[in-house]
Structure 1
Amino acid sequence: MHSKGKIEKLKLESLNRKSIEVYKESKKIPVLVLLDQVRSMHNVGSVFRTSDAFSIDKVYLCGITPCPPHREIQKTALGATESVEWEHQGNIEELIIRLKEQGYIIIGVEQVKGSIMLQDYSIDMKQKYALILGNEVEGISEQILNLIDVFVEIPQSGTKHSLNVSVCAGIVLWEWYRALVTY
């Protein structure tokens, strides 16, 4: 709790933000984000912005997920499409198989039988992860469910039992960032 004097917000120049060039060269956490059939450009932009904040290695835009450059993505990305490495991948199944061959653990963020509550999943600092976030209505595509190694879900106690995909990304990516980054 702040008890003395006037509270002042930090100015942008005092936050010591990295330039895009420095950011691109900086160390990233070994986490990939795979957006599976996400429709909303605002959600895509938000995931880019969150991925920038938490130094995510790369974002894959799969299937019908819209790609930059687009004004609607930029509204929420605020330039993060320039700092975060990304790639469009039409076939997410092929991508998952390739990532498994490269040693990634494939994590589906989805409510399924046997899923692990996010706070109960033990993140291993020696592993590489690919986190899959699905479509706003349908979730992760049925045809790839059997390719996923582990499912995590965010505990909820409200009436909706779902979160916006960009909010979900923020919560899950924070957990990985918190577990993998030493301050």
Structure 2
Amino acid sequence: MRKLENSELDRKSIDDFKKSEKTPLILILDDIRSLHNIGSVFRTADAFLVEKIILCGITAKPPNKEIHKTALGATETVTWEHHNNVLEVIENLKKEGTLVLAIEQVESAVFLQDFEIEKNTKYALVFGNEVYGVTQEAVALCDGSIEIPQLGTKHSLNISVSAGIVVWDLFKKMKWSK
């Protein structure tokens, strides 16, 4: 076994990335405090060709050198926008036919492993503040909720870790499920 060189990884150029068919996922980051979390989510979005990131509330936006430290250029490839009010974002996406899901521990949440993708559906995933999670007002507007099962003593994951887990799982189900 040999580690691959960067030149062997068949990486897309920025232009090729922008022209590529995107995964029908929109990531909504609401009131995220950590610039490193924001940058990490941009990298995950780049890796799985996510359609767009919507930054809401106090979530910082590029250009920002602290976001860039973890995004490593993904802010140049992934489409993003900023809105002050997450509730308006959710309402507008739903009007456009996007299925909006909170990534949160709520009554009647579907565990990630049990969540089934609907064909020809665009999804928006709402990730909330590192301390308080997705607000109750936002949860109430969402079409549903996905929960990542956790078996240890902690009952939450870092937002960038949660985004990576959920995006990978949905990407895999969209791309390779029969």
TM-score (norm 1): 0.94
Answer yes or no: is the 8 Å Cα contact 1:125–1:179 preserved in 2: no
Please name the residue that 2:22 is paired with.
28
Match of 2:46 in 1: 52
Aligned counterpart in structure 2 of residue 102 of structure 1, from 86, 96, 101: 96
Please, which runs of 5 or more residues in structure 1 have no aligned partner? 1-6
Residue of structure 2 equivalent to 1:128: 122
Partners of 2:143 and 2:54 in 1: CA distance: 18
Match of 1:72 in 2: 66
The match for 1:174 is: 168
Seq. identity, %: 51
CA RMSD of aligned residues (A): 1.1
1:115 maps to what in 2?
A: 109
Distance 1:83 1:141 in 2: 29
Inter-partner Cα distance in structure 2 for 1:156 and 1:86? 30
Q: SS state of the match for residue 122, structure 1?
A: coil
Is the contact between residue 30 and residue 129 of structure 1 (CA under 8 Å) also seen in structure 2?
yes
Q: Is the 8 A contact 1:63 1:90 kept in 2?
A: yes
Q: CA deviation at 1:125?
A: 2.3
- Where in structure 1 do 4 or more consecutive aligned residues deviate above 4 Å? none
The SS at the match of 2:62 is coil
- Write the distance in 1 (CA, Å) between the matches of 2:101 and 2:21: 22
Query: How big is the shift at 1:27?
Result: 0.2
Describe the SS at the equivalent of 2:28. strand
Q: Which residue of 1 aligns with 2:142?
A: 148
Which residue of structure 2 aligns with residue 86 of structure 1?
80
* Structure 1: distance between partners of 2:163 and 2:119: 19
AA aligned opposite 2:14? I
Partners of 2:5 and 2:53 lie apart in 1 by: 29
Deviations 1:103-146 (A, max 9, x none): 00011000011111011111112111000000000000222221
Q: Distance in 2 between matches of 1:153 and 1:123?
A: 15
AA at the equivalent of 1:47:
V
Read off the aligned partner of 1:79 and give its amino acid letter: G
Mind listing any 5+ residue stretches in structure 2 that lack a counterpart?
none
Q: How many residues align?
A: 177
